[in-house]
Amino acid sequence: MRKSFILHKDSLDVLDDLTDEQCGQLFKAIKAYHCEGQIELNALIKIAFSPFKNQFMRDEIRSRIGEHHWNWKGGITPENKSLRSSTKYKQWRTSVFTRDEFTCRRCGVVGAELNAHHDKAWATHPELRFAIENGITLCKECHIEVHREK
């Protein structure tokens, strides 16, 4: 359970329509929700509580992303993994498939599980990693064979 929470200014507009007693009930509900996770509310307070609950849920999701995630290790994703999952790489791959009409250039199979293979190796030719002319469409089986032959 988190030790604190934030009440966002835009969520506070709901207080304008409540009596002081209802505001007190609402803040007790917020405290109970934050400390216990579950609450029972009457209909009016339930409606007033809704924007706060939604904000708490969004904040909870944000608290588990990036450096706030329990398994964060300081942003040390290896460069290779980061590049291969980038939009630029995905665009290169799609461009190679499109140019080759989604057909394995080695065996001619169409629409199988395809791989975009670098003619000149990814590791040794970083300047050609995203050059479409350095790519070739291969089916999974032919891709394995090409790497076995090297």
Kindly state the percentage of the chain with pLDDT values over 70. 95
Residue 3: predicted pLDDT:
61
Same domain as 118, residue 90 = yes
Q: How confident is the model at residue 9 (pLDDT cuts 50, 70, 90)?
A: confident
Same domain as 25, residue 87 = no
Q: Which domain holds residue 92?
A: 79-149
Q: Is the pLDDT of residue 7 over 80?
A: no
pTM for this entry: 0.51
75-78-79-82 Cα dihedral, nearest 10 degrees: -70
Q: Is the pLDDT of residue 98 over 60?
A: yes
Q: Is the pLDDT of residue 8 over 90?
A: no
Mean pLDDT of the chain: 86
Top mean-pLDDT range of 6-15, 59-68, 103-112: 103-112
Same domain as 140, residue 98 = yes
Q: How many independent structural domains does the chain possess?
A: 2
Q: Is the pLDDT of residue 1 over 60?
A: no
CB 42 within 8 A of CB 50: no
32-36: Cβ within 8 A, 24+ apart: 34/1, 34/2, 34/5, 35/1
Same domain as 140, residue 87 = yes
